[in-house]
Structure 1
Amino acid sequence: MRKRHLGISVYPEHFTEEETNNYLKKCYEAGFRKVFFSILQLGDNPDKKLLEYYEKSIMYAKKLGYYTVVDINELALKLYKITDDQLAFFKTKGIDCIRLDAPFVASKVAQTTYQGMDIQINASNNDHFVTNICDFMPNKDRLFGCHNFYPLFHSGLSEDLFIKSTKKFRELDIEVSCFVGSDFGKKGPQKYDVTKLVSCENYRDLKIKNQIKLALSTNLFESIYVGNQPLSDEEIKSIKEIKFDNVFEFDLILEKSVSNYELEIINFNNHFWRGDANEFFIRSTQPRVVFKDDIKPTNLNDVYNFGDVLIINSNNKHYQKEILIVLKDNYKNFGDTVNKIGKISKEDLLLLKNIKPWNRFRFNIIG
């Protein structure tokens, strides 16, 4: 996979020019490098000043250094009086990539990829449009998939379809983007206020940082866009804390009586799930090699649940100091050999579905 990027979405019709430019600048300075615009909602006969405002905003984003993506359909072609043979026209408007909201002719899409224009196609339908395009030997360096976003509660893709439809593109060596949603922003391409504009329904109840971490953990997405505008300053700050290093980071809520020695082991910089994995718990075994002192038995429980983080204590001399993450609810087979350190936050529990043997991980203590 090529380098991953974060993107924002901008809808100028809801904001003044100063607000739009300030938001673009602030997000670029925070590390966002792609920006998504949509002109679908403008129709084929928009207000002239609004269209000029859109074009000016796109050019400003391009000047700042953004990679610019614009969602179009056949009405946009009528608006600019061009045909589907002339999609490269959009380069003259400062647009790096056009996203085709609905399928165009597959052979013409393939042809456009040789005209210096990047093309995104809908990745959410799980249809054969992408394979039809590939029949015409496109330049895959300029062909991408991009999921839809869904404002309506419970209308987003199921996790199964989200992954399945993405893998169809990845198996063709085509990169894919998706959308996550802000808790703060209320604006999208709709005329009415929206809630989170997410691609996958499972992401809707998570905070923005945890949504991005979850998308990254699939190792399937080249770009992740925030679908609604604007992000809050607090959300931007939390996103800047994400490390793009392929290490799973679990937000951890600690038990009250964790010792400093146990904390030192939790913060160890070489946790990984050993390769000979089992289905009941993740094992990080390197701490028992590095750390020498005994672990006093404390915080003993009879039952442990999915996401509980444990350390093997001195009642099991050989394995003590291993860190365990429980993968089953109502697990009862540890006896008095483990101390409960804490629990992975509910926002990060879904990460446990994506972690694999040999993956590295670390903990971020949040409470």
Structure 2
Amino acid sequence: MLGISIYPYKENIDETLLYIETAAKYGFKRVFTNLLMVESGKEKSVIENLKIAILHARKFDMEVILDLNPAVFEQLGISYQDLTYFKKMGATGIRLDSTFDGLIESLITFDDTNLDLEVNISNDTYYLENVISYEPNRKRIIGCHNFYPQRFTGLDYDYFIKCSEKYKKLGLRTAAFVSSQTADHGPHDYTDGLCTLEMHRDMPIEVQAKHFIAVGLIDDIIVANAYASKEELRALSKIRTDQIELDVEFSKGVSLLEKEIITENQHFNRGDINSYSIRSTYVKLKYGKCDIPDNNSHDLVKFGDITLGNNSFGQYRGEVNIVKQEMPNKGHEKNVVAKVTKENQFLIQYIKPWTKFRFREAE
């Protein structure tokens, strides 16, 4: 599921409503916002705008998660024993940026409002195990990583994997944030991009999302800063969320049949893997008797090349490979039909035995 973030206390409400409509048009189904930055004395005006925005999102059947902490309950004079206030605002769930004691969280999951409880999963602690020890309604607990406005403070990849695996094993639906390269603000005064993973900070937004999909541990991907451009929302809406999809640039003179084999078929890696190539062999059952003449073959094939077995390759005619390391092609049995784009090449490492994947021609 794809989502956006809104901050009506910093944004023009009309622009916010238009942004929600645009995102909904492109299939986005989640909205993240928060009450953490509400200044004392301005609660009424902020909450009025926030309610307008949330109810507008609900018109498009979008989930809306409100980021809170215990101090917000105190500031607004609200008891954790009655979440009606947030339900009336239109929220479908609340996120706790910091924690209570575990028992309170468990009680929140049984609140009559049926609001989901979203917990912070960027911490390698036993917090969720503590909550679970108090027998919560697990069906109403979801998880979301943090985002980081300061450069060089986003999560390291290995730590992100460790945390995500931990919470995924506990059965949580998970979410993480990607950063728009055109948006200029978030909830805080200072923002140098907003991302969960530091390595994502300067990547195109759709590549960030494709990385999360390739990793396979994140269910929902949310744009953290506002406003992402229409082009970015469109780019996100066009990616596959069910499997790895590699953008490719086709070689000059590639045939229509070669393009069809690459882009119009489901591919998967063989289980008996090797260190030289990813082998999509199932397609040759369909194309193994087709005429595939020698076309753009080379003495060497290189990392990221996509090759297709041609007429001279016997029983391997029609087999598709992604090259993982340079190797000879002296017999010119393999046509170099395309190359994985530079920005997508790091995703090749996530194709494991039996991994399903697709190719898409780069725009």
TM-score, with length taken from structure 2: 0.91
SS of the counterpart of 1:196? Answer: coil
User: What is the match of residue 220 of structure 2?
Assistant: 223
Q: Which moved more, 1:50-59 or 1:136-145?
A: 50-59
**Equivalent runs, 1:1-367 vs 2, <5 Å:** 5-46=1-42, 48-87=44-83, 89-115=85-111, 116-192=114-190, 194-244=191-241, 246-291=242-287, 292-328=289-325, 331-336=326-331, 337-366=333-362
Amino acid at match of 2:99: P
Maintained 8 Å contact 2:212/2:218: yes
Distance in 2, Cα, partners of 1:303 & 1:123? 46
Q: CA deviation at 1:190?
A: 1.3
Distance in 2, Cα, partners of 1:51 & 1:89? 11
Q: Describe the superposition over 1:187-215 as per-residue Cα deviations: whole angstroms up to 9, x where unpaired.
A: 200124x3431111232232222222222
Gap change, CA 1:82 and 1:323, over 3 Å in 2: same
Maintained 8 Å contact 1:44/1:76: no
Distance in 2, Cα, partners of 1:137 & 1:127? 18
Maintained 8 Å contact 2:213/2:243: no
Amino acid at match of 1:364: R
Q: CA deviation at 1:248?
A: 2.5
Distance in 2, Cα, partners of 1:14 & 1:62? 21
Amino acid at match of 1:156: G
Maintained 8 Å contact 2:307/2:336: yes
SS of the counterpart of 2:31? Answer: strand
Gap change, CA 1:299 and 1:120, over 3 Å in 2: same
Q: CA deviation at 1:154?
A: 2.6
Distance in 2, Cα, partners of 1:157 & 1:218? 15
Maintained 8 Å contact 2:80/2:108: no
Gap change, CA 1:64 and 1:332, over 3 Å in 2: closer
SS of the counterpart of 2:9? Answer: helix
TM-score, with length taken from structure 1: 0.90
Amino acid at match of 1:309: I
Q: Describe the superposition over 1:233-252 as per-residue Cα deviations: whole angstroms up to 9, x where unpaired.
A: 112222232234x2422100
The total of aligned residue pairs comes to 359
Distance in 2, Cα, partners of 1:304 & 1:220? 33
Maintained 8 Å contact 1:300/1:340: yes
Q: Describe the superposition over 1:151-193 as per-residue Cα deviations: whole angstroms up to 9, x where unpaired.
A: 222321122111210111111111111111111111200124x
Q: Which moved more, 1:15-24 or 1:165-174?
A: 15-24
Amino acid at match of 2:97: D
Distance in 1, Cα, partners of 2:109 & 2:53? 25
Amino acid at match of 1:355: I
Q: Describe the superposition over 1:27-78 as per-residue Cα deviations: whole angstroms up to 9, x where unpaired.
A: 1222111111111111454353233222332233234422111111122112
Distance in 2, Cα, partners of 1:50 & 1:139? 31
Distance in 1, Cα, partners of 2:30 & 2:258? 41
RMSD after superposition: 2.1
Maintained 8 Å contact 1:98/1:118: yes
**Any unmatched runs of 5+ in structure 2?**
none
Maintained 8 Å contact 1:183/1:195: no
Maintained 8 Å contact 2:249/2:339: yes
SS of the counterpart of 2:99? Answer: coil
Distance in 2, Cα, partners of 1:199 & 1:327? 28
Q: CA deviation at 1:302?
A: 4.3
**Any unmatched runs of 5+ in structure 1?**
none
SS of the counterpart of 2:91? Answer: coil
Amino acid at match of 1:229: A
SS of the counterpart of 1:290? Answer: helix
SS of the counterpart of 2:240? Answer: coil
Maintained 8 Å contact 1:312/1:323: yes
